A = this chain, B = another copy of it.
Amino acid sequence: MKDYSITDAVACLRAAGVPVTLQRVEIARVLFAQPVHLSADQILARVRESAPDTSRATVYNTLRLFREKRLVRALLVDAERVVYDSNTTLHHHLYDIDTGEVRDVAADEVMVTGTPRLPPGVELEQIDVILRVRSGRS
């Protein structure tokens, strides 16, 4: 995670129009050092490694903010497992029901074709494709 410096994180937040604070920088470093799929609690745990006094509420509030600013996407893989995806480029997901693991699937590996007729005035926001698999391993 050291390849993503505090300076980089600050720049990223500023560019997105997010006021910079210590906690937001730490959360950004966890998310943007590399593409990850983490739950709010996993993010909290990682943030606390470097900023032990961070509260759960701050993580939730910050994740909501990041989502509004389009810095991360919430991915609904399971009713009790919402993960935050720091890869905002076009891609799909493979979800292992047994292990809970989430993997990216490149946009050219699985293609979605055809445009459904949308009612007038309705605009397409995003397309989610989730391949749910069972590995047997739990």
Contacts and interface: CB of A to CB of B under 8 A. Distances in A.
A131 B117 CA distance: 11
A54 to B, nearest CB: 22
A109 to B, nearest CB: 5
A129 B128 contact: yes
A127 B97 CA distance: 12
Interface stretch (A20-28, A30-38, A42-50, A74-82): A74-82
Q: What is the interface residue range for chain A against chain B?
A: 35 or more
Given A105-B116, A109-B116, A112-B112, A134 B129 contact: no
Nearest to A125: B132
Contacts of A127: 129-132
Given A74-B79, A126-B132, A128-B128, A109 B105 contact: no
A112 B94 CA distance: 14
Nearest to A74: B79
A76 B78 contact: yes
Contact of A82 (B79, B96, B117): B79
Contacts of A128: 128-130, 132
A98 to B, nearest CB: 9
